[in-house]
A and B are shown apart, each in its own frame.
Chain A
Amino acid sequence: MFAKPRSFIDNYWMRAMPAERLGTLRVLVGAYALVYLLARTPHLWSYGDLSPTLFGALGVVSILDHPIPPWLHYATIIATLIAALPFVLGWRHRLCAPCFAALLLWVLTYSNCWGQILHTDNLLMLHVIVLALSASADAVSLDAARSAGDKPAASASYGWPIRLLCAITVCVYLLAGIAKLRNSGLDFLGGETLRNYVAFGNVRKIELGSIHSPLGVALLPVPEIFAALAYISFALELGAPLALVHRKLGVTWVAAIWGFHLGVLALMAIAFIYPLTGIAFASFFRVERLPRRWPPWRDQPLSARSRASTAK
């Protein structure tokens, strides 16, 4: 007669969600990781023959005192690329996905052991870990196609990983806001620091032989813009947890933070590619509707399709 009492946290965190949503997220994040790795292979490869004096181990690579031999480094890159495929396809997920996550963690951490940590990969890595440790291949996968069972019902098993993906995304931005508050205080809101960062970042890019942002340079004579941008940046980062309160708030925050990354790209020529593609924020959306709607003509009757092609 009485429902089993469930705490507020349990209701929120273990909310039943469709397996297709988690499966689609695995495909999106995995496909991004695969393409990203392929595009960055020449870059990752180049760490194989760098001077050992430049090596400073961190994270999981801290078990090493010296760089690994080049052949082993190249082998781990190739193995990671190969392991990405079953992750995307959802093939033998329970075995292959943790292997992919471990290899990706090693390769990306190793690439950050050469003097400067690049914060563009942190969120991708955390998302891959969540998807690898969850039942993200129960749908939209070769594993699901192979099993003759019924389509899995919506379940908490597919809900918590999605909640966790969103929470980790929010944490990353919240921590960036906390770092600004701790290191600059409310002085950051004056805009001077941000303006100097834009100028500093662009000089650094030019003087280190890279491309810079002409738009950022053009805006330097207008300090008021940087004060406004500082307020926006603070609000989006410290207000990030609100994105977890309600789906519509989440979608609004995602749109705003995506615009924020576009602004960073335009003003400083710094591309956070994972957020810019939108895939970093896919967990805030009902992405399971994507495969149903793609390709766009999929649900049209054949007669309508042939009429459309005749009209062309």
Chain B
Amino acid sequence: MSRAFGYLVSVTLIYGATTPAFRNPPRDSFPFSDYPMFSHGRPTPMMDLMHALGVDSEGQQTPLPPMVSAQNREVLQSMKAIIRRVSAGEAEALCAEVAERVASSAEFPNIVKVEIAHSGYDAVAYFEQGPAPKWRRVFARCPVPRQGARDVRSEQPRVR
């Protein structure tokens, strides 16, 4: 292969690999990115996230894994999927779908309800004082449809 071809490929790929960082605003894409992960200032440990929770008969809440909450093995993509569904006004529908997946999984025999919630945490206090959220807004709450189980009507979401 000629030198000219070598230079052409080299300049093209290096240009492609470096320009996302120098665009205004910088562009995150694939395979070229400005690699923004973990780069933004985070001066406080306050954080919030949208997630799907399983609730047992005693009211204990368990975060549901990505495959159950969003049919996606990637943790972050599952969260984005929940955000998009809630933003599109589909929280109830999402809740029902998650409840179906909980019912069909042998992993959660004690889960009786599913909640789609937006929770706020102090990430450091979470480990030092306990995992209770600072605040939580429940967008949808629905029963897990188990065969032979008591028919529990979908409850109205409660906003705290």
Q: Assess whether A125 is in contact with B66, with CB atoms less than 8 Å apart.
A: no
Least distance between A81 CB and chain B CB atoms (Å)? 18
Q: Assess whether A115 is in contact with B43, with CB atoms less than 8 Å apart.
A: no
The 0/1 profile, CB within 8 Å of B marked 1, for residues 195-207 of chain A is 1110110111111
Q: Assess whether B9 is in contact with A130, with CB atoms less than 8 Å apart.
A: yes
B152 close to chain A: CB less than 8 A: no
Provide the main secondary structure of the chain B interface: mixed
Least distance between B91 CB and chain A CB atoms (Å)? 13
Residues of B within 8 A of A195 (CB): 124
Given the interface contacts A175-B18, A205-B75, A208-B51, does A157 sit within 8 Å of B6 by beta carbon? yes
The distance in angstroms between the C-alpha atoms of A10 and B40, with both chains bound, is 38
How many chain A residues sit at the interface, stated as a range, is 35 or more
The 0/1 profile, CB within 8 Å of B marked 1, for residues 180-215 of chain A is 101111011000111111011011111111100000
How many chain B residues sit at the interface, stated as a range, is 35 or more
- Of A46, A51, A164, A195, most buried by chain B (CB within 10 Å of CB) is A51
Given the interface contacts A121-B30, A183-B36, does A208 sit within 8 Å of B49 by beta carbon? yes
Residues of A within 8 A of B21 (CB): 175, 178-179, 182
A76 close to chain B: CB less than 8 A: no
Residues of A within 8 A of B103 (CB): none
User: Which of B17, B34, B40, B80 interacts with A116 by CB under 8 Å?
Assistant: B80
Report 10 cross-chain contacts, Cβ distance below 8 Å, ordered by A residue.
A13-B7, A42-B73, A46-B67, A54-B81, A126-B13, A134-B9, A179-B36, A182-B26, A203-B127, A208-B66
**Interface set of B (CB-CB < 8 Å, partner A):** 1, 3, 6-7, 9-10, 13-14, 17-18, 20-21, 26, 28-45, 47, 49, 51, 62-69, 71-81, 83-85, 88, 90, 119, 121, 123-124, 126-128, 131
Besides A114-B80, A176-B35, 20 more A-B contacts (Cβ < 8 Å) are A51-B81, A53-B88, A54-B81, A105-B31, A115-B80, A160-B3, A168-B13, A168-B17, A183-B39, A184-B41, A187-B43, A192-B43, A196-B42, A197-B42, A199-B123, A203-B121, A203-B123, A209-B64, A210-B66, A220-B127
**Interface set of A (CB-CB < 8 Å, partner B):** 10, 13-14, 42-43, 46, 49-51, 53-54, 58-59, 105, 108-109, 112, 114-119, 121-122, 125-126, 129-130, 133-135, 156-157, 160-161, 163-164, 167-168, 171-172, 175-176, 178-180, 182-185, 187-188, 192-197, 199-200, 202-210, 217, 220-221
